[in-house]
């Protein structure tokens, strides 16, 4: 075989290999270096899996806690609400005087290291659909129901509650509750700021904490409850708190006007 024929025979395969190498190199340059998994996963609740040992399902990569009395009922569902796919959090509180004050659902991701730092340092955007108002006890301000986000570092707890009405702020020894004005029975976009709450309370950055979607009611508020989440995403750097008491409802939580994508 002449040198020219041999060269023509290998030219096409070599060209293909060179092109493949160039494409792979470009991909590595653009995506391979510096890629980090997002701090929160499956944030649109698109993927579901079985809860081990049950016939129940839950959003994939989220953990669940069911806190309830013997006759209370708690369940999660892949719901469609006003045309949008959503995580539905359903609660039935029987109101019986048992040893369980709450019937409450937790859907959580436990964060540590870089993931915890990213959620702490950035604002978190949430599409939420509340169907019931928040009820604090008229005497001691203790919560009687809840729908929103919980940040729990094992010592301190922050609740960001979505409810109609005016902004409100309740502070207990190790528990802060921020009520973010949110209309009932429609999708609303809201942003929360974890870092500013810790700064306001003068708590140290915890290093690890649980990011929890919550829905529930105490036996003082029996009935059937539902709340829905469409997505939860890190949006950008958080502003710092100003140190004033008024900042609890105005600057610590940025309550955006309702909007559609």
Fold of 48-250: Jelly Rolls (2.60.120)
What is the rounded distance in angstroms from the CA atom of residue 91 to the CA atom of residue 224?
Answer: 6
Q: Domain-by-domain residue ranges, the chain?
A: 1-35, 48-250
Q: What is the pLDDT of residues 13-59, one digit of tens each?
A: 445 444 444 444 544 454 455 567 899 999 999 999 998 888 889 99
Q: How confident is the model at residue 3 (pLDDT cuts 50, 70, 90)?
A: very low
Mean pLDDT, rounded, for 166-181: 97
Distances (CA, A) of 43 to 22, 52, 62, 245: 34, 21, 9, 32
Instruction: Give the model's pLDDT for residue 238.
Output: 67
> Is pLDDT at 259 greater than 60 in this prediction?
no
13-50 per-residue burial string, b: 16 or more CB within 10 A, e: under 16:
eeeeeeeeeeeeeeeeeeeeeeeeeebbebbebeebee
Q: How confident is the model at residue 127 (pLDDT cuts 50, 70, 90)?
A: very high
List helix spans (H) across 36-83.
Answer: none
> Is pLDDT at 248 greater than 70 in this prediction?
no
Q: Helix, strand or coil for residue 226? A: strand
DSSP secondary structure of 81-120: ETTEEEEEEEEEE----SS--EEEEEEEEEEEHHHHHHHH
Q: Which DSSP category does 14 fall into?
A: H
What is the rounded distance in angstroms from the CA atom of residue 254 to the CA atom of residue 93?
Answer: 31
- This prediction has a pTM of 0.81
Pull the structure tokens for residue 195: 């870092």
Smallest CA-to-CA distance from 157 within 174, 145, 180 is with 174
Mean pLDDT, rounded, for 118-130: 97
Q: What is the pLDDT of residues 76-98, one digit of tens each?
A: 999 999 999 999 999 999 999 99
Instruction: Give the model's pLDDT for residue 251.
Output: 40
């Amino acid at each position: 075989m002449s040198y020219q024929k041999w060269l023509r025979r290998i030219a096409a395969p070599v060209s293909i290999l060179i092109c493949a190498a160039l494409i792979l190199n470009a991909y590595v340059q653009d995506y391979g270096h510096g890629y980090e998994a997002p701090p929160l996963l499956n944030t649109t609740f698109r993927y579901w899996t079985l809860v081990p040992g049950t016939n129940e399902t839950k959003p994939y990569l989220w953990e669940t806690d069911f806190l309830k009395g013997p006759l209370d009922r708690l369940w999660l569902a892949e719901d469609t609400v006003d045309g949008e796919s959503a995580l539905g959090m359903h609660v039935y509180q029987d109101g019986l005087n048992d040893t369980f004050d709450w019937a409450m659902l937790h859907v959580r991701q436990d964060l540590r290291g870089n993931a915890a730092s990213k959620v702490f340092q950035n604002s978190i955007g949430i599409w939420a659909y509340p169907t019931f108002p928040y009820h604090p006890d008229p005497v001691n301000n203790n919560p009687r129901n809840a729908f929103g986000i919980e940040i729990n570092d094992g010592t301190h707890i922050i609740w960001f509650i979505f409810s109609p009405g005016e902004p409100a702020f309740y502070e207990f020894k190790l528990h802060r509750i921020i009520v973010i004005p949110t209309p009932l029975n429609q999708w609303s976009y809201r942003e929360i700021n974890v870092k500013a709450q810790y700064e306001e309370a003068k708590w140290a950055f915890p290093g690890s904490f649980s990011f929890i979607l919550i829905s529930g009611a105490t036996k003082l508020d029996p009935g059937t409850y539902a709340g829905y989440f469409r997505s939860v995403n890190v949006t950008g750097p958080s502003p710092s708190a100003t140190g004033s008491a008024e900042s609890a409802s105005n600057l610590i939580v940025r309550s955006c006007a309702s909007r559609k994508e």
